[in-house]
Chain A
Amino acid sequence: MTSPLEQKIRITGPSIVTANRTADGAVIYRNRTNGWSTDLSHAAVVRNADDARALLAEAAADDVGAVGAYIAPVSVKDGETIKPGNLREHIRQRGVTIDLLPVSA
């Protein structure tokens, strides 16, 4: 498999690095202090391919703590509120868009 770092990195706007936590699979974001957070508002935002590559390299180096790090688009409102940039990331952040349990149960 091609490592994510060997793949061509193209970003078209503000981006973050996200992964799943190894122990429980929870959605995590690479934060501004070289660690991970489950809170998107703590994510480190990058705006060009070089910074994205560096952030991804740092994230991918933590093979014990996180699985499958990749770059994902976000939007940044008023210079600070970070929102997922697509539906997939929205669902990862907010959870499933359905009632979890059968409604009649």
Chain B
Amino acid sequence: MYAYDELDRTLLNERVAEFRDQVKRRLSGELTEDEFKMLRLQNGVYLQLHAYMFRVAIPYGTLSSKQLRRLAHIARKYDRGYGHFTTRQNIQYNWIKLAELPDALADLAEVGIHSMQTSGNNTRNVTSDQWAGVVPGEVEDPRIWSEILRQYTTLHPEFSFLPRKFKFAITASAHDRAAIKIHDIGLRLHRNAQGEVGFEVLVGGGLGRTPFIAKTINPFVHGRDLLSYVEAILRVYNRYGRRDNIYKARIKILVHELGSEKFAAEVDKEWRAMGETALTLDDGVIEEIRSRFTYPAYEKLPHMPEELKKAAADPLFERWRRNSVFTHKVQGYAIVTVSLKPVGAPPGDATAEQMDALADLADKYSFGEIRVGHEQNLALPHVPKRDLPALWKALDEIGLATPNVNLVSDIIACPGLDYCSLANARSIPIAQELTRRFANPDTAELIGRLHINISGCINACGHHHVGHIGILGVEKNGEEFYQITIGGRADENAELGMLIGPAVPFGEVADVIEDVVEAYLALRERPDELFVDTVKRLGVQPFKERVYATR
């Protein structure tokens, strides 16, 4: 966990006091909505269909049990008893009252949580690998660098009024769980031939109306130069980014229009002109941040404890273990993904009771730490393997042991037309129906890894472009229709999905997806050829023929 200092606490308290005053003036009429809108957005407050929506940042997806309990408290006291974890490792509350928001913010500030820069045209919450610091083979904990970036970008005046929102993601593993290639700036931590730590810098990724996979503009930027190099990128963006057209304002359009080579040259020119700046990080600063990340005092534990051997006889436990438990860098420990995708439930939602109970389980079994992944699941990052059977039982009792992580019913879905004022169509009921169709865990395991991502409009909060199967809600003559793509992926081999055929109405989506999956089962070469690999090998056509032949 990262320990906040006095400066962080003062900043948060000042921010709460400022927003309290702004809300008071809005409610009294002293501020008009036009004046207030920007201020509320800077504090993560949107107005949705039924109510205000409050988005709270969870920097690089790391939470303490105390913080998770506080998130539960917010859900219970100020909202309707639940929260929604998002694809950017944030949590959203859907029913918050403006008049009560300052109190909610104050409650959050007490545990070092805030909502700054969770909306608006600024640098947003820096996201990272939810297994940071615990996964084997990592170059270094990427959260150290996420935190450096967080401190540098928070309330940075030059980045508070960018042409559009701006998102960073960082990974330090060969397998990218942070989806860095669909971010404005994606950073891959690695070592150069001299063994020094630095970043491959990718720019211009993003989904939405005009999706692009990010391009590498520099294969190695030394760690000490991270901030100056990022500042050079943002300066080039600030200077050339389109402010005249909201649809062309993201950096991805600039990179596309200039070409990544020219863009890289512009950044390089800017960066060289900056020379040795105050932004160059000296080792002391990096060490200071590094030292504030504390790690548990792991015990020396056996690789295969008796408890685990015994529990292996229970097929239900074994199924959960196969799908939810992952290798930890320390022998005798495991990373446990906690599925927020029970059959028939809204993906990514957790009740206050579940959050409280999970916080207790984190204290008992995971050194009080919880992670949030962009797939809208949670994780317990340091579980002794001997405790896995007990943890599984406890998770099951609170509805958090669905054995479907990375399987067909582990669906990413945005709030869609049930909540979102920008939506064309509903996302959640589609996800709910699909989880029911694929509720049989044997079938789900037979199908293997398959990511279905659903967005209720082209803004793509549900990452539909990079779902192995992507579902996008569109509106046709007042009716909900859905475009279906296949072959997308968000990892180190990120690709955009390809359209499989004409959009289908609400009532037919689940049938079509079942047909796509059946086509895959018939077309795959071997049982372990993943859906996305079959699509890569064969292209869209054979799927199209099978799925649309009878339609």
**Interface assignment of B505: CB less than 8 Å from any CB of chain A:** no
- B426 to A, closest residue via Cβ: A97
On whether the beta carbons of B418 and A102 are closer than 8 Å, the reply is: no
**Interface assignment of B351: CB less than 8 Å from any CB of chain A:** yes
**Interface assignment of B428: CB less than 8 Å from any CB of chain A:** yes
On whether the beta carbons of B478 and A87 are closer than 8 Å, the reply is: yes
Interface string of A88-103 (1 = CB under 8 A from B): 1001100111111111
Interface string of B156-183 (1 = CB under 8 A from A): 0000000000000000000000000000
Partner of A25, one of B32, B98, B343: B98
**Interface assignment of B49: CB less than 8 Å from any CB of chain A:** yes
**Interface assignment of B50: CB less than 8 Å from any CB of chain A:** yes
**Interface assignment of B52: CB less than 8 Å from any CB of chain A:** yes
Residues of A within 8 Å of B96, CB to CB, are 25
Counting chain B CB atoms within 10 Å of each CB, the highest count among A24, A88, A101, A102 belongs to A102
- B425 to A, closest residue via Cβ: A87
User: Shortest beta-carbon distance, A6 to chain B, in Å?
Assistant: 14
On whether the beta carbons of A100 and B29 are closer than 8 Å, the reply is: no
User: Shortest beta-carbon distance, A60 to chain B, in Å?
Assistant: 10
Chain A, 47-105, CB within 8 A of any chain B CB: 63-64, 67-68, 86-88, 91-92, 95-105
On whether the beta carbons of A22 and B426 are closer than 8 Å, the reply is: no
**Interface assignment of B189: CB less than 8 Å from any CB of chain A:** no
Residues of B within 8 Å of A105, CB to CB, are 345, 351, 353-354, 398-399
Known: A88-B417, A103-B345. A64 touches B29 (CB 8 A): yes
On whether the beta carbons of A22 and B26 are closer than 8 Å, the reply is: yes
**Interface assignment of B419: CB less than 8 Å from any CB of chain A:** yes
**Interface assignment of A26: CB less than 8 Å from any CB of chain B:** yes
Known: A98-B346, A103-B343. A67 touches B47 (CB 8 A): yes
On whether the beta carbons of A88 and B349 are closer than 8 Å, the reply is: no
On whether the beta carbons of B432 and A98 are closer than 8 Å, the reply is: yes
Bound complex: CA of A55 vs CA of B328, how far in Å? 63
Bound complex: CA of A88 vs CA of B50, how far in Å? 11
**Interface assignment of A27: CB less than 8 Å from any CB of chain B:** yes
Partner of B354, one of A86, A95, A102: A102
**Interface assignment of B262: CB less than 8 Å from any CB of chain A:** no
Chain B, 351-381, CB within 8 A of any chain A CB: 351, 353-354
Extra inter-chain contacts (14) besides given A22-B26, A25-B50, A25-B98, CB under 8 Å? A25-B52, A25-B95, A63-B33, A87-B478, A91-B418, A96-B418, A96-B419, A97-B418, A98-B346, A98-B418, A101-B349, A102-B350, A104-B345, A105-B398
